[in-house]
Structure 1
Amino acid sequence: MSASGFYDIAVIGGGVNGAGIARDAAGRGARVLLLEAGDLAQGTSSASTKLIHGGLRYLEHYEFGLVRESLSEREALWRIAPHIIWPMRFVLPHVKGLRPRWLLRLGLFLYDHIGGRRLLPPTTSIDLTKHPAGKPLKSQYRRGFEYSDGWVDDARLVVLNARDAANRGADVVTRTPLLRAQRASTGWTLKTPRGEFTAGALVNAAGPSVLSVSALTGDAPPLGMRLVRGSHIVVPRLFDHPFAYFFQLADGRIFFAIPYERDFTLIGTTDRDHHEGLDHIRASEEEIAYLCEGANTYFTRQVSPADVVWTYSGVRPLIDDGSGKPEAATRGYRLDLSELGEGAPLLSVFGGKITTYRHLAQEAVDLLAERVSALAGPAWTAREPLPGGDFPLDGAAALAASYRTAHPFLSAADADRIVKAYGTLAREWLVAATERAALGGDFGHGLSQAEVDYLVRREWAQTAEDILWRRTKLGLRLDPAQVARLADYLSMMGPAPTAGGSYQIGEV
């Protein structure tokens, strides 16, 4: 904890916006506390469609500023995190009776040119009867477009931002809900089950819980929020090529079908107003059937709810702009900083999307710098790599090859997974192992004791769910007995050590 017991800034919310703000502020010299009620990325930030994209469909709603900002961030994020973010080519089939070809081409022309694209290839028209992406589709889809966007491991993006914040001096405290926040002229007192924390300024970045946290601070929120549930399904792989799909539906909505974890296809998302609680968010049977039916409109191989191996859902905290349909509600954001005469500063974050998190965080810290004297120096997060991302954009294959040379027991699939999760950070737990036994016991599918211990010691993981569904996606592969064995091992480890101290590999 802070040596003085006092923080310059306390950030409430360990999602992508909160972690991004903590990273930026710590890098500018502030003493930062990041406080999260559950696990990092436990909510919305691990339940996205896992895309770094401009939002092609937002052009229809005339959100040109949001699209421009998002597109400009794609390559900036790719540069700082080439292990967890990588380019992906998307195929958009033309469908007779829906959006005309000229409109799609115009939208894609804007998409190519308003965001400062430099490294990603441009849009091309394609003949689906000859293109690899046409083979899995029904025969009526003959023409289309191929364009660029990006893929992200969303939960790891959050964890790596928190890790970098901690590397720069921030304290990251998980599974610690805020119970009450008391404001004075000089700072905030935050009451939690772990005791009290004090900070000069408070950031409410609680995502879907932003209004609940506002109530704990006594602050009257300046605008309403609209909670929209997005659900996704994962099915066995529907195609063998590396392209993703952007599909249109007759009801005007769109959805994606994306290569996922080598052996699967990710399909989503829905947009449904969410009026239930935030503790157990689930895809409804209707949503699962809707996504299956959408996929069946396009693919020759048909899927049903029985084929679904995993579903996940998240609630997006959108600014209530009065839109009729959930999908039309803005994905933009608003930062609200309290007035000077209201006591210690309170910055509330409303809305946002994962692609714009870094820019949002930079704007937030710029605002706070007007009131927090500890914040010094210019914006920096667009040029400094996230932990593990200190290698060239085209260097993932070489890094994987170097791991296989140094650790010959790794398969090609093992090395690919490790690079896409950890980048160069894997050296911290692979160390000098030349045989698998040196990494301790194996929980299945390459998940070793050494990796588990690293995730507990350095990435705040405490449960099997943390490890299997947020730090990795090995939950898709481990069987119930393997999951139980991992859970037993974690329970024997006792209280989680701080994410930064030493830890010994134990016995399975």
Structure 2
Amino acid sequence: MLTSDTYDVAIIGGGINGAGIARDAAGRGLKVFLCEKNDLASATSSASTKLIHGGLRYLEYYEFRLVREALIEREVLLNAAPHIIWPLRFVLPHVKGLRPAWMIRLGLFLYDHLGGRKKLPGSEGIHLSHHKAGAPLVPGMDKAFVYSDCWVQDARLVVLNAMDARDRGAEINVGTECLSARRDGGEWIVTVRQNGAEHEIRAKSLVNAAGPWCAELLEKRVSAHKKQGIRLVQGSHIVVPKLFDHDYCYIFQNPDGRIVFAIPYEQDFTLIGTTDRDYKGDPARVAISDDEISYMCDLANTYFARKIAPKDVVWSYSGVRPLYGNGEENASAVTRDYVLEIDQQNDEAPLLNIYGGKITTYRKLAEAALAKLSPFLGNHETAWTSGSPLPGGDMPDADFESYFAAMQQRFSWLPEAQLYRYVRNYGTLINQIIAGATDMSGLGDHLGDDVYENELRYLMEQEWARCADDVLWRRSKLGLHVSKDTATAIADWFAKTAPSIRTAPSGEGNDDK
């Protein structure tokens, strides 16, 4: 919903940084507008390795501040969203001729102690010959190291931040493209296109959180004083049928200095990634290359006894990271730290440009962004997000397992696998899906597999889902599990129902958290 009021902050971009800034700003009482030309998390923010992690390998590049901040954030975010974030244990096999064992031990010692770890267990050395993590690996490796990090449903993290921003008064507009922005004295006039019509809004400050499009925005659409280039780096992942039957993850070294993860994924699969290569062109057209697929298959085959080939890949995805660099470093060595720059002269309205960043530190980035903007917007400096749960995350003691057990008793008529998926995706918000149902018929029309109309209606009304892909590949990963008939039924449901339902609720309270 667009209004004629002047906003305190207008944000361009509905990825994790834009949504995180919108949430933080709205919680400080600022009037916030956010526009996203496609779907929330439709680009880089849904193409991550889906880890909340300190970045063990960043220690090699002396990124101690970034690693410490990220390590602290692991447990902050784990407490805020225990339904979509959970602990993982990573196995790092030691390979002679690559990183020496003493270097790995030193790195893990720092990793254990830099971030004030409280919940997550520390690192340890293991013998693969006596550990279940060794069974799927090729013979000849015995020494390995195990450490902790966390998993996140990345696209859902973006949506939950946007929902919390909306519930605190922000206006979140998906399918809304920024056409131009120009200064008019102490304000910005931003022209957007929504549902085919052009509108103007006014704002006291403008945030460029367009991710891989942030430089293009400055060059072609926003009247800025400084045009800052960025380094676009492509990262790709592949998904194959599961290669092991345990909950441990692997972090593998490669002779080229890169590391690649192999992670249990969606019960039936293994996620392998990522790559790092410079990218030229439109980020919207990024796609995995045959070379990247072969690279990851070859690396997996170096470590796993069960061999894979490109024909085994059931799904792949690629994203473009907007990194702050001069183009001279190896792509793997470019900092993942964020850079925030204010573009402003005299008494003009400020423009804040967001460069780089990683999903783990998005909340700290948002706090830093508000600190940059506060001199122009008045006294709104109180940081508040570190102790506030995200929607669905307000479980007693942030204990997912206990909450799920309570829901099993409450909804004993629901199949366990379906209930688990509901609680994992929606946490305490499942009441909005199950509502007053007492049996399966109360969930609405059955579209196939475990998909019912109530869930789709909730996603459309509350989470801005506008088409089948929004549900199948971002609000969930049902696309990996449901039949073609079910996917078609979901698409047909949206085509039939979308015109009659508001797809971007704005500023409305959420009474049933």
Alignment TM-score, normalising by the size of structure 1: 0.96
Q: Name the residue aligned to 1:110.
A: 110
**CA deviation map 1:423-468 (0-9, x unaligned):** 1011111112121111112223322100000000000000100000
**CA deviation map 1:296-331 (0-9, x unaligned):** 111111111111110000000000144431101110
Q: Name the residue aligned to 2:309.
A: 304
Shift of 1:188: 1.0
Q: Name the residue aligned to 2:460.
A: 456
Distance 1:214 1:113 in 2: 40
Q: Name the residue aligned to 2:389.
A: 385
1:169 aligns with 2:169: yes
Shift of 1:222: 5.4
Distance 1:409 1:293 in 2: 46
Q: Name the residue aligned to 1:205.
A: 209
Structure 1 residues 251, 491: CA separation in 2 closer, same or farther (over 3 Å shift)? Answer: same
- For residue 423 of structure 1, the aligned residue among 409, 424, 427 is 427
Distance 2:73 2:494 in 1: 38
Distance 1:248 1:313 in 2: 21
1:288 aligns with 2:293: yes
Does the aligned pair in 2 maintain the 1:321–1:330 contact within 8 Å? no
Q: Name the residue aligned to 1:236.
A: 241
Does the aligned pair in 2 maintain the 1:407–1:433 contact within 8 Å? no
**CA deviation map 1:381-425 (0-9, x unaligned):** 110000000014562122222323232332222222112111101
Distance 2:225 2:464 in 1: 33
Q: Name the residue aligned to 2:511.
A: none
Distance 2:419 2:129 in 1: 35
- For residue 333 of structure 2, the aligned residue among 314, 328, 333 is 328
Structure 1 residues 254, 148: CA separation in 2 closer, same or farther (over 3 Å shift)? Answer: same
- For residue 478 of structure 2, the aligned residue among 471, 474, 477 is 474
**1:373-412 to 2 correspondences below 5 Å:** 373=378, 376=380, 378-392=382-396, 395-412=399-416
Does the aligned pair in 2 maintain the 1:223–1:319 contact within 8 Å? no
Distance 1:398 1:499 in 2: 33
Runs of 4+ in 1 over 6 A off after TM superposition: none
Q: Name the residue aligned to 1:101.
A: 101
Distance 2:185 2:264 in 1: 52
Q: Name the residue aligned to 1:248.
A: 253
> In structure 1, what residue type is equivalent to 2:406?
S
**1:354-373 to 2 correspondences below 5 Å:** 354-373=359-378
Worse overlay, 176-185 or 192-201:
192-201
Does the aligned pair in 2 maintain the 1:52–1:355 contact within 8 Å? yes
1:186 aligns with 2:186: yes
> In structure 2, what residue type is equivalent to 1:298?
Y
Gaps in structure 2 of 5+ consecutive residues: 508-513
Does the aligned pair in 2 maintain the 1:406–1:432 contact within 8 Å? no
Shift of 1:3: 5.8
Distance 1:229 1:26 in 2: 32
Structure 1 residues 501, 99: CA separation in 2 closer, same or farther (over 3 Å shift)? Answer: closer
Does the aligned pair in 1 maintain the 2:166–2:506 contact within 8 Å? no
SS of the equivalent of 1:196 reads: strand
**1:114-153 to 2 correspondences below 5 Å:** 114-153=114-153
Distance 1:326 1:499 in 2: 37
Q: Name the residue aligned to 1:445.
A: 449
Shift of 1:342: 5.6
Does the aligned pair in 2 maintain the 1:204–1:347 contact within 8 Å? yes
> In structure 1, what residue type is equivalent to 2:157?
L
Structure 1 residues 309, 243: CA separation in 2 closer, same or farther (over 3 Å shift)? Answer: same
Shift of 1:140: 1.1
Shift of 1:370: 1.1
SS of the equivalent of 2:148 reads: strand
> In structure 2, what residue type is equivalent to 1:292?
C
Structure 1 residues 220, 305: CA separation in 2 closer, same or farther (over 3 Å shift)? Answer: farther
Structure 1 residues 351, 217: CA separation in 2 closer, same or farther (over 3 Å shift)? Answer: same
Structure 1 residues 393, 318: CA separation in 2 closer, same or farther (over 3 Å shift)? Answer: farther
SS of the equivalent of 1:341 reads: coil
> In structure 2, what residue type is equivalent to 1:38?
N
**CA deviation map 1:342-363 (0-9, x unaligned):** 6111111011010110000011
Q: Name the residue aligned to 1:261.
A: 266
Shift of 1:498: 4.3
Does the aligned pair in 1 maintain the 2:218–2:227 contact within 8 Å? no
**CA deviation map 1:171-225 (0-9, x unaligned):** 1001111111121122111111231111111100110000122131121445420
Worse overlay, 19-28 or 444-453:
444-453
Gaps in structure 1 of 5+ consecutive residues: 503-508
Structure 1 residues 457, 153: CA separation in 2 closer, same or farther (over 3 Å shift)? Answer: same
Distance 1:499 1:193 in 2: 15
- For residue 226 of structure 1, the aligned residue among 228, 231, 234 is 231
Alignment TM-score, normalising by the size of structure 2: 0.95
Distance 2:506 2:55 in 1: 41
Q: Name the residue aligned to 2:63.
A: 63
Distance 1:54 1:393 in 2: 23
SS of the equivalent of 1:38 reads: coil
Shift of 1:55: 0.6
Does the aligned pair in 2 maintain the 1:37–1:177 contact within 8 Å? yes
**CA deviation map 1:450-500 (0-9, x unaligned):** 000000000000010000000010000122222111111101113350444
Shift of 1:340: 4.7
Sequence identity percentage: 52
Q: Name the residue aligned to 2:510.
A: none
Q: Name the residue aligned to 1:506.
A: none
Shift of 1:6: 2.0
Distance 1:498 1:154 in 2: 21
Worse overlay, 329-338 or 153-162:
329-338
